[in-house]
A and B are shown apart, each in its own frame.
Chain A
């Protein structure tokens, strides 16, 4: 239990505001060339920078370039421990994704090693629904922040 934790039993969703500020161990992800290509195909990317090593190298990159939204892929490993943390207490079956923000730094290319840390930025209750905001920061092997994310999840009351 996080010190100072307060369990609010309001309507149907009980939120534990005591987890605000909680952080989790960093999650590592090594970016693979075929993973970038698989992701790019799935979302309909046609830019050869994402698909063709030759085109990416000709443009000055070391390997195929991850589309910006590939941030989802390298950030996910950091998300699961918080989503399923009993202390956070998210009812996964009632959760919907309310909003998302990403801010990007240098582009990610195949071969990069990305380390993502997550902290719980906010937990609140409004109109019987629980609101959970996670903040992620993803850093590459050179220590550059390649992406910061804010993930807003809503757990619907009954």
Chain B
């Protein structure tokens, strides 16, 4: 993992009921994620993805690149816009610094041409370090 290297992009399309499964798995049952009618009532286009689900996809791109869960030391993200079910998410990242066996990866997540996670930064223990 060298300066300027790009992570293998991670693409995933959350299915129609993903938000329900993620709500159960995570414990976050905010109705904007699981109730279509409620989501519309509060001005959303429909049920939206949990931001922390989308962040988990950004994390997965890091641990895939780093060789496992032990590689990820820090991840910070900003949520922008809304992720929707049944549309592809694409996570990308570029190594912006390498020091003492740790790589800094600037990363983000896009859906339908919109960056729904931006200014994300990961600190990754390099697999070769």
Chain A interface (Cβ < 8 Å from any Cβ of B): 35, 38-39, 41-45, 47, 49-50, 65-69, 72-73, 76, 92-93, 96-104, 107, 150
Contact = CB atoms under 8 A, between A and B. Distances in A.
Interface in B59-95: 59-60, 63, 68-70, 72-79
B12 interface: yes
Contact of A104 (B55, B74, B77): B74
Contact of B73 (A49, A65, A73, A103): A103
Interface string B15-31: 00010011011111010
A130 to B, nearest CB: 16
A151 B55 CA distance: 13
B22 A42 contact: yes
Contacts, number: 90
A76 B23 CA distance: 12
Interface residues of B, number: 31
A6 to B, nearest CB: 28
Closest 4 CB pairs of A and B: A101-B76, A42-B25, A69-B56, A43-B56
Contacts of B53: 42-43
25 contacts: A35-B25, A38-B25, A41-B21, A43-B57, A44-B12, A67-B59, A67-B69, A69-B55, A73-B25, A73-B27, A76-B26, A76-B28, A92-B30, A97-B79, A98-B78, A98-B79, A99-B77, A100-B51, A101-B74, A101-B76, A102-B75, A102-B76, A103-B73, A104-B73, A104-B74
A66 B69 CA distance: 8
B42 interface: yes
Interface in B1-50: 12, 18, 21-22, 24-28, 30, 42
B97 interface: no
A37 to B, nearest CB: 9
Nearest to A65: B69
B17 to A, nearest CB: 11
